[in-house]
Amino acid sequence: MTTTPPAAPAAPLLAVEDLKVSFATPQGELRAVQGVSLTLERGKTLGIVGESGSGKTVLSRAIMGLLPRERATQTGSVRYQGQEILNASHKELRGLWGTEIAMVFQDPMTSLNPVQRIGHQITESLKLHLKLDRAEAKETALSLLMQVGIPSPVERFNAYPNQLSGGMRQRVIIAIALACAPRLLMADEPTTGLDVTVQAQILDLLGTLQRDRQMGMVLVTHDLGVVATRTDDIIVMYAGNVVERAPTDVLFSQMAMPYTEALLRSIPRISNPSHTRLRAIEGRPPDLISPPPGCPFAPRCPYAQDTCHHEKPPLVEGSAPGHSYACWFPLAAPGMAASTSGTESA
């Protein structure tokens, strides 16, 4: 409802600067996100990748402003089209939620209200935000259901969530998120709990809708395979830190961070012979209440050396534009071998 003041034309759709989120727990301060910066232009897709507990969901909820204020301390800056929205009042955020920024949640099984019909759940925000009357809202909802690829939308309109399959539900959730034509879509692991073929369909659907509507999209996932072909930029997160950031093609060709490599290795490959052991990453992510002093990945890193355990590596620029990583001994990529050996001798 509140129209965002047209900021400087250069203002990106979403700009996050040094965002830190911590939770007060009885054991101490849990630092879930430790200084993340990112920008997203309109019509682009940003992938945020990391394993469970790396802070990606907290990051996406912090950007949305959905974290409970009384428990989460958030510092830094989140600008939506130049407007500061971090720690903005709920009233202010409510004007953005749904119409400007929308979110697709992790679990399609629990993200729909079990006692309300699909149609009602879609039309609700149309009536609330766009002030459509019942007939208009229904028409719009049916066309949305059609766009997200739900067969016989007229019948599904009156169905309850439990009458739909997981894939169908996630389509409905996407339809709800897109109802008011947001400019920024946050998709938090939109395909968790869906089988692989449906996963691909949902991701393709999101990609298509994002291109058609020129939305900015943040795709949060633990699966590098998911973001490989569907994003413009990728951020790899580990223990609340950005450990590598690059345009998608650069990331896959000049991977510098051992963690990124380990993530990629832990994806099963169809070309492998059967019974190949999956190369899981040994160990567990570090404790976020008292993180180790050095590189957070050092205890699990096969290349870790003394420096790694004592000093935290800063995020440094790589050779390719837009590529940066936080690693003392980046993987030897062509063209970077010299700098790597230089660091090692130092």
Partner 1 sequence: MTDTPSAGTAAVAPGLLPTAAGSSGRPGRANRPGRANRPGRANRAGRANRAGKKKLGVFFWICSGWIGLIVLVAIFANVLPLPKPDFENFAAPQNGAPAWGHLLGTDDLNRDIFSRLLFGSRVSLVVGFGSTAIGLILGGIPAMFSAYRRGRVDTFLNTTSYAVLAFPALVAVIAIGSFWGHQLWKITLVIGIFSAPVIFRVIRAATLSYASRDFVMAAKALGASDRRILGREILPNILPTIISFGLIAVATVIVLEGTLAFLGLSVPPPTPSWGNMLNEGSSLLSGGPGQNNPWLVIFPATAMFTLLFSLNVVADKLRSYFDVTEVKL
Please give the residue ranges that form the binding site for partner 1 (CB under 8 A).
Answer: 64, 66, 70, 94-99, 102-103, 105-107, 109-116, 124-125, 128-129, 155, 162, 173, 176-177, 179-180
Mapping DSSP to helix (H, G, I), strand (E, B) and coil, where does residue 39 land? strand
Distance in Å, CB of 341 to partner 1, minimum:
49
| CA distance linking residue 205 with residue 199, whole number of Å | 10
Q: Is 197 left (phi over 0), alpha (psi -120 to 50) or beta?
A: alpha
- Looking at beta carbons only, is 31 or 156 nearer to partner 1? 156
3-state helix, strand, coil in the chain (%, to 5): 35, 20, 45
- Looking at beta carbons only, is 80 or 105 nearer to partner 1? 105
Distance in Å, CB of 126 to partner 1, minimum:
10
Distance in Å, CB of 201 to partner 1, minimum:
21
Answer yes or no: are the C-beta atoms of 187 and 220 closer than 8 Å: yes
Amino acid identity of residue 237, one-letter, is M
| CA distance linking residue 335 with residue 171, whole number of Å | 44
| Residue 196 CB contacts under 8 Å (≥ 6 apart), including other chains | none
Distance in Å, CB of 49 to partner 1, minimum:
22
- Looking at beta carbons only, is 97 or 297 nearer to partner 1? 97
- Looking at beta carbons only, is 15 or 173 nearer to partner 1? 173
| CA distance linking residue 216 with residue 186, whole number of Å | 9
Answer yes or no: are the C-beta atoms of 324 and 245 closer than 8 Å: yes
Sheet strands (E) in the chain? 14-25, 28-40, 45-49, 72-80, 83-84, 101-104, 184-188, 216-221, 233-238, 241-247, 316-317, 324-325
Distance in Å, CB of 183 to partner 1, minimum:
14
- Looking at beta carbons only, is 19 or 177 nearer to partner 1? 177
Per the structure block, which two tokens stand in for 340? 């790597």
Distance in Å, CB of 67 to partner 1, minimum:
11
Distance in Å, CB of 148 to partner 1, minimum:
16
Distance in Å, CB of 164 to partner 1, minimum:
11
- Looking at beta carbons only, is 89 or 271 nearer to partner 1? 89
| CA distance linking residue 24 with residue 209, whole number of Å | 39
| CA distance linking residue 203 with residue 21, whole number of Å | 29
- Looking at beta carbons only, is 188 or 233 nearer to partner 1? 188
- Looking at beta carbons only, is 94 or 300 nearer to partner 1? 94
Give bridge partners of residue 157 from the DSSP assignment: none
- Looking at beta carbons only, is 151 or 342 nearer to partner 1? 151
| CA distance linking residue 9 with residue 189, whole number of Å | 31
Mapping DSSP to helix (H, G, I), strand (E, B) and coil, where does residue 250 land? helix
| CA distance linking residue 35 with residue 20, whole number of Å | 5
Distance in Å, CB of 162 to partner 1, minimum:
5
